[in-house]
Amino acid sequence: MKRLLLILVCIVAIGTAKGQNVLLEQDPAADTTTETIGPNLRDFFQTFYGYGNFIGTNNPATAVRYTSYHLTAGIRYKRRISEYYSIGTELAYTNNTYALKQQPSKQVPDSVLHKKERLSWMYMGLSNI
Amino acid sequence: MRARWQAYCTIVLIALLYSGFVSAQSKFRVYFKDKQTEFNPFTYFDAKAIDRRVKSGLSLTDSTDFPVNQSYINQVSALADSARPASRWFNCISVFTDAKRAADIAKLPFVKLVQQLLPDYPQPLCSYDFDTTIKVKNLKLMDAQLNMLGAAKFKDKGIDGKGIRIAILDAGFPTVDKNPAFEHIRNDKRIIATYDFCKNRESVYDFNSHGTMVMACIGGRLNGQNIGLATGADFLLARTESPGYEIYSEEEYWLAGAEWADKNGADIINSSLGYTNDLYFRHQMDGRHSIIAKAATMAVKKGILVVNAAGNEGDGNWKIVASPADADSVLTVGGVDPYRQYHSNFSSYGPNRNLKMKPNVSAAGTVATMGERSVTVASGTSFASPLTAGFAACAWQLNKDWKNTDLFDKIQQSASLYPYFDYAHGYGIPQAGFFIDTVKSIAPTFTVSLPTQGTDSTGNYSGINVKIDSLHFNVDWKLKDRLLFYHIENTKGYLDRYYVIEVEEENPLYVDSNELKKGEMLRIHYRGYTFEYKQPD
């Protein structure tokens, strides 16, 4: 009870205390810096990611389930070389995972049927753009 | 089936060919080496333009006023698909052509430079009966937006901007030709000229209603209620802005509009627009990069007062003023809350990249104005600017012998915070009383206990304490009467930090003087009085 009373007193005290109420505070130095990295500037870093599903008719021997997916993420660097052109490179991680349908016609990677079976390929690559 | 496929292929082929044709057309700005030398200013300019030049001590035979050589225009136009109006101020013309013909243009002996520009985009149309009721809350807001400028002082003296010609460069003026808020202007035939630079035609009474609202903030009047201050001014209306897109061409339209305004005797240009990240980087906001900032500077050199909105980027990533508000000689106007009278969060901050103070002054950033059909509440520095342009017209009417630069200085000096300033409010809100009443010295509203050396344990300067005078302290006052401003100016003459605080106790501010570097200036402003303290070297 004493503790509750103390908390209440504190709350009332905070509510009635008047201090300096700063309405506007600005540091102009931060507004006058020259950016060198960003869209359309000389150097530009960009992260990207993507997710996709496989579509189309499956070969009965390699049929995949809807839970199969393609996942990619990476970082891209671009350097502006003229008004209209840039060159750059990107480092990307890609994961292609195929959830195989367990059906009698299955042949990949073998004809043995399981409760669940997945094949995954992971890539890490550097490419130029 | 086969025929259908052939039709599809043909359509795709035509589309590809057409897109190739379109992309082959680029826009170029062509600068000429010299100009036409025969020029009679008395036949070329409106009489008011001549008067302004004489008053400003400007030559009537300035080469920047000479027309562009028509032969040059014809020869360049012959190598282009279309051309924009030529600029006499910058002796250039913009044309649409392909790269090969641009190279041919560059080889012409009278061509100094050919610059490739970004392309334009088409603009949508818009349409528009009038509800002349002014709701009580809107009436209150109209009063607030004018009273904060001291409008009653001008009104009592019968000052309404008469004889001052104001050019408005905006995005369209739908219904201005029939809107009851401008009836007094139409009846007196005070819309002197109009031109749509985006469409190359005279009518400006369509497209975006932004211009209509802006014009109302300068000289509108509805049911006897003034919306702006300059209800007696003359007007030149130019559409230079294509809503929806920010394109380089708009800057050229603005340039053409400014030259047109100059030719037609404008004393003041109001421009409630600005260009930011679509076309520029923040570090280019120095008044020297954009053609619109150069055009605004040139207009000022021709004796015109250019009033421009600071921009609405204060709460966005861009944050700082837009162009042409970045030009040193442009009177840049920030937005304040009409009741609280301090910075509206959307109003763009200064300084410009030359570290010159921007905005220069402030006015209401939220207004009640006349829209296309009815009274509406609008927010943005777009409306603070015309309120100030109307104010400037009244001040100029009182002092017709002043040059534009004199007026610029006097408007700053009249402002509510002067000599205090910051990069959110400039010198504050211009006051009509400055131009009407005898200027009296303001008695201190607070006292400051200055630091004395060696009073603390480290031997350094102690703190600076502010105590509000009892006559000027009342917690029940409205917030606008309890605002304390302070800043720290470095030895190079620009601000390192600035603040606005709400006074809730008699000792609202303590500044640790150890935080001030040698030679730095601390300025404190409260209720009209400014105190300065310079840290000893």
Convert the pLDDT of each residue in B149-162 to its tens digit. 999 999 999 999 99
- B501: its two tokens: 């605080």
Put simply, whether B483 touches A (Cβ < 8 Å) is yes
What secondary structure does DSSP assign to A10-49, as a single string? HHHHHHH----EEEEEE-GGGGSPPP-BSTTSSEEEEEEE
Residue B485, SS3 per DSSP: strand
Q: How far apart are CA B404 and CA B428, in angstroms?
A: 20
Indicate the domain borders of chain B. 23-56+65-117, 136-413, 446-534
Q: How many CB pairs under 8 A join A and B?
A: 61
- Name the phi and psi angles at B314, rounded to 5: -60, -35
pLDDT of residue B403: 97
Per CB-CB distance under 8 Å, the chain A contacts of B509 are: 20
pLDDT of residue B448: 93
Q: Where does residue B205 rank: exposed (0-12), middle (13-18), buried (19+ CB within 10 A)?
A: buried
* pLDDT band at B3; cut points 50, 70, 90: low
CB contact under 8 A, B424 and A25: no
Q: Which amino acid does the sequence have at B30?
A: V
Q: Determine the distance in angstroms separating the CA of B483 from the nearest CA of chain A, rounded to an integer.
A: 9
Note the pLDDT tens digit of each residue in A90-123.
Answer: 999 999 999 999 999 888 899 999 999 999 999 9
Per CB-CB distance under 8 Å, the chain B contacts of A23 are: 342, 483, 500-502
pLDDT of residue B434: 96
Of A24, A32, A41, the CB nearest to B424: A24
pLDDT of residue B13: 53
Q: Provide the percentage of residues in chain B whose pLDDT is more than 70.
A: 91
Mutate to test the interface with B, among A18, A21, A33 (most CBs of B within 10 A): A21
Put simply, whether A21 touches B (Cβ < 8 Å) is yes
pLDDT of residue B22: 45
Put simply, whether B358 touches A (Cβ < 8 Å) is no
Bridge pairing between strands B268-271 and B165-170: parallel
Q: How far apart are CA B460 and CA B186, in angstroms?
A: 68
Mutate to test the interface with B, among A22, A27, A32, A43 (most CBs of B within 10 A): A32
- B39: its two tokens: 């020029």
Give the residue on A whose Cα is nearest the Cα of B425.
Answer: A24
Indicate the domain borders of chain A. 47-129
Of A21, A31, A34, the CB nearest to B501: A21
pLDDT value at A19 more than 80:
no
**CA-atom Rg of chain B in angstroms:** 26
CB contact under 8 A, B500 and A40: no
- Phi/psi zone of residue A101: left (φ > 0), alpha (ψ -120 to 50 degrees), beta? beta
- What's the residue count for chain B? 537
Does this complex have an ipTM over 0.90?
Answer: no
- Phi/psi zone of residue B386: left (φ > 0), alpha (ψ -120 to 50 degrees), beta? alpha
Q: What angle do CA B113, B116, B122 make, to 5 degrees?
A: 135
Q: How far apart are CA B109 and CA B102, in angstroms?
A: 14
CB contact under 8 A, B351 and A23: no
Q: Which of B203, B205, B280, B273 is nearest to B241 (CA)?
A: B273
Mutate to test the interface with B, among A25, A31, A85 (most CBs of B within 10 A): A31
- Which DSSP helix (H) or strand (E) runs through B383? helix B381-398
Q: Determine the distance in angstroms separating the CA of B440 from the nearest CA of chain A, rounded to an integer.
A: 30
* pLDDT band at B18; cut points 50, 70, 90: very low
Fold match between B136-413 and B446-534?
no
CATH no. of B23-56+65-117: 3.30.70
CATH no. of B446-534: 2.60.40
Q: Which of B25, B28, B61, B21 is nearest to B45 (CA)?
A: B61
In this prediction, residues B280-286 reach a mean pLDDT of 92
Mutate to test the interface with A, among B502, B503, B506 (most CBs of A within 10 A): B502
pLDDT of residue B462: 73
Residue A60 burial (CB count, 10 A) = 12
Residue A118, SS3 per DSSP: strand
First to last CA, chain B: 91
Note the pLDDT tens digit of each residue in B443-478.
Answer: 999 999 987 765 555 656 678 999 999 999 998 999
Q: Which of B325, B395, B400 is nearest to B357 (CA)?
A: B325
CB contact under 8 A, A24 and B495: no
Per CB-CB distance under 8 Å, the chain A contacts of B495 are: 28
Contact between B325 and B331 (Cβ < 8 Å): no
- Phi/psi zone of residue B527: left (φ > 0), alpha (ψ -120 to 50 degrees), beta? left
- What's the residue count for chain A? 129
Residue B45, SS3 per DSSP: coil
Of B495, B500, B502, the CB nearest to A28: B495
Put simply, whether B499 touches A (Cβ < 8 Å) is yes
Put simply, whether A28 touches B (Cβ < 8 Å) is yes
* pLDDT band at B125; cut points 50, 70, 90: very low
Domain topology for B136-413? Rossmann fold (3.40.50)
Q: How far apart are CA B143 and CA B158, in angstroms?
A: 17
Q: How far apart are CA B393 and CA B398, in angstroms?
A: 9
CB contact under 8 A, B499 and A24: yes
CB contact under 8 A, B502 and A23: yes
B191-196, strands of its sheet edge to edge = B191-196, B234-239, B165-170, B268-271, B305-309, B331-336, B361-364
Look-up of token digits 């150097």: A43
